[in-house]
Amino acid sequence: MSSDSFDIEKIALLARLKLTEEEQLRLGRQFEGILQHIDQLNQLDTENVEPTSHVLPLQNVFREDEVKTLFEDGKYLSLAPRQDKDHYEVPQII
Amino acid sequence: MKYEVVIGLEVHVQLKTLSKIFCSCSTEFGRPPNANTCPICLGMPGVLPVMNKKVVEYAIKACLATHCEVQTTSRFARKNFFYPDMPKGYQITQFELPIGLNGYINIETDGTPKKIGLTRIHLEEDAGKSIHGENLGRPGRSYVDYNRTGVPLVEIVSEPDLRSPAEAREYLAQLKAILDYAEVSDVNMEEGSLRCDANVSLRPVGQAEFGTRTELKNINSFKFVQKALEYEIERQAKVLNQGDKVVQETRLYDSDKGVTFPMRSKEEAHDYRYFPEPDLVPTVCDAAWIDSIRQSLPEMPEAKRDRFVSAYEIPEYDAGVLITSKALADYFETSVKLLNKPKTVSNWIMGDLLKELKNDDKEIDECPVTPERLTDLLKLIDDGTISGKMAKTVFEDMYQSGKPPAEIVKAKGLTQITDESALAKMVEDVIAANPGQAEDFKNGKDKLMGFFVGQVMQASKGQANPALVNKLIKEKLSS
């Protein structure tokens, strides 16, 4: 499914999703609905409103530059679906 | 057709923090694969990044050192794309509100100074390292090491102000020196703490609009930056001269073959869908913070060069060489404190010392000859113990063995013969052996002086004090 404002196949590709034709139709309709809702929001005058990037009025939340080790080496690697020679194994790149 | 070259560089610089940008993992280089990882940099669900304060300080320092305006408010964004070396599926970077804007650095090529504009400096996290399966004996698969994932980077983007590969190389050298002096990065191209991408295009001379550009990646040395650009410029000129169009694309540089080739294009054009990073709050740098960092900024390369010229009265060329790295400049200054002969020290550093280091592919901080040893050697020349020529041999030995100069001089029996009576005997012998030349000299053939000095030096196996030999020959032959 495609509409004037979006291409469902491209969106699926960007998200690395394989969609059946039925899913494309259903999700496309939902997406259409979301965009309509945003169109509705766009009618509001936000000329003098600062864009929100964070919901809490916080700034400069920092940590000190200190090294901490949570678990010993190799702990996470052992959880990976595929691993070999201390590396995470993935399908061939290029 | 005559073309003008237009180059802009994007330089990624690793900041030398102990821990990563958003988690407490070590940034240490050379650890076993995947040793420096945790749920945050591995992109596990539900984890939260927390900004490393030192990263912001270093970024502010980098901005100040390159005359960028530090932005009061900067913010992170998510850059979305899938690649195995980036486990979250997005990179946290700065997009609309980078930390620094509108800077410049000064360069000089062939004696012509030029100001190169910096568009922006922004902060981001590094990606991991992918290894092709062939290299681990497993073709058909790829492997990922996430140690580098989340290491703090600043990306420094220049204006398209560079007009030749030589200027690009010089820009990179200056930038490297500045960041080295500011002590924000190790700026080591071999270890990847300084990486460079180059945008290059050609336009007919006199044309205002830019031509179509290509982006060169994978350039990991100063020499290659210049070589890759030279190759690419020639390639584009050929394309344009044939009446074809340059294709806008990303190309990789193959340093073995000395060519650039197109990176296999991705299936679809990039669509990063940047949006503000909701897990991080804005960074606000107020004037007090920026000022306190400005106070801590050490002397920058340009200021040091000017000071070297005026304080030590060495030529601008020498100063320019000596300031290329902070460690080298420090080596020079320490040496001059030990022996107040700046030009002599400079000559030895620029000559023998840098030559040996270059042969060994070593940096000055790995130099086996300390400033103390170097100046001890120069003092031996000064007090007449050895000649300048002998000192060169001693230096080579010092560099190889790491022994003090006096010990080498003694072991090699290199001490200069300054005993006048011993030398007088040699001079007499030489004259006696060459009566014809002696007669000619007495009759005004002054040029034979060199001949006699040479003979005496040979007889003394190079150990005679040349000044004394000169004096003695004159005395004997004029009487």
- Whether residues B372 and B443 fall in one domain: no
Residue B344 burial by Cβ neighbours in a 10 Å radius (0-12, 13-18, 19+): middle
B222/B46 Cα distance (integer angstroms): 42
More confident residue, B180 or B479: B180
Q: For residues B124 and B251, state if they share a domain.
A: yes
- The distance of A26 to chain B (nearest Cα, Å) reads 23
Tell whether B265 lies on the interface with A, counting CB pairs under 8 A.
no
Judgement on whether residues B25 and B163 belong to the same structural domain of the protein: yes
d(CA A78, nearest CA chain B) in Å: 11
- Eight-state DSSP code of residue A44: S
Q: With an 8 Å Cβ cutoff, are A14 and B55 in contact? A: no
Could you say which of B412, B428, B449 is where a domain stops?
B412
Kindly state whether residues B474 and B339 are assigned to the same domain. no
Number of domains observed in the structure of chain B: 3
Q: Report yes or no: B114 and B84 within 8 Å, Cβ to Cβ.
A: no
Q: Under DSSP, is residue B74 helix (H, G, I), strand (E, B) or coil? A: strand
Are A93 and B83 within 8 A, CB to CB?
A: yes
What spatial distance separates the first Cα and last Cα of chain B, rounded to whole Å?
Answer: 74
Give the separation between CA B124 and CA B450, rounded to whole angstroms. Answer: 67
End residue of a domain, out of B412, B446, B466: B412
* Across A31-50, average pLDDT: 91
Give the CATH number of the domain where residue B460 resides: 1.10.10.410
Q: Which of A51, A61, A69 sits opposite B281 (nearest CB)?
A: A61
Percent of chain B surpassing pLDDT 70: 99
In this structure, the answer to whether residues B105 and B207 fall within a common structural domain is yes
Most confidently modeled range among B155-164, B223-232, B367-376? B155-164
pLDDT tens figures, B71-100: 999 999 999 988 889 999 999 999 999 999
Instruction: Provide, as residue numbers in chain A, all residues whose Cβ is less than 8 Å from the Cβ of B37.
Output: 76
Of B105, B11, B17, B122, which Cα lies nearest the Cα of B70? B122
Are residues B270 and B252 both part of a single domain?
A: yes
pTM value is 0.80
* Residue B160 · residue B200 · CB < 8 Å: no
Domain boundary among the residues B412, B429, B457 is at B412
First to last CA, chain A: 30
B290 contact partners, CB below 8 Å, separation of at least 6: B60, B64, B70
Let me know whether B261 and B397 are in one domain: no
Q: Which two tokens stand for residue B70?
A: 């530090």
The token duo for B457 is 């030096």
Residue A54 is nearest to which of B32, B51, B281, comparing CB atoms?
A: B281
A-chain residue closest to B279, CA distance: A54
Strands (E), A21-64: 62-63
Residue of A nearest to B147 (CA): A87
Q: In this structure, are B240 and B201 located in the same domain?
A: yes
Q: Say whether B146 and A14 touch across the interface (CB within 8 A).
A: no
Separation between Cα atoms, residue B305 and residue B181, nearest integer Å: 12
Residues B378 and B438 in one domain: no
Judged by a CB distance cut-off of 8 A, whether residue B281 touches chain A is yes
> Who's near A31: CB < 8 A, 6+ residues apart?
A6, A8, A11
**Separation CA B283–CA B330 (nearest Å):** 35
List for chain B the helix, strand, coil content (%; round to 5): 40, 20, 35
Residue labelled with tokens 């620029």:
B350
Residues B49, B196 within the same domain: yes
Quote the domain boundaries for residue B260.
Answer: 3-290
DSSP secondary structure of B299-363: --HHHHHHHHHHHH---HHHHHHHTSSHHHHHHHHHHHHHS--HHHHHHHIIIIIHHHHHHHT--
pLDDT digits (tens, 9 = 90+) for B235-280: 999 999 999 999 888 899 988 888 998 886 554 457 899 999 999 9
Check if B273 contacts A (Cβ < 8 Å). Answer: yes
How far is B292 from B294, CA to CA, in rounded Å? 5
A91 contacts B50? CB cut-off 8 A = no
Whether A1 has a pLDDT exceeding 50, the answer reads no
B167 contacts B200 by C-beta, under 8 angstroms = no
Partners of B268 on chain A (C-beta within 8 Å) are 10, 13-14
B83, B142, B149, B289: which to substitute to probe chain A, counting the most A Cβ within 10 Å? B142
B93 and B111 both lie in a single domain? yes
Instruction: Work out the average pLDDT over B326-342.
Output: 93
Q: B138 and B64 share a domain? A: yes
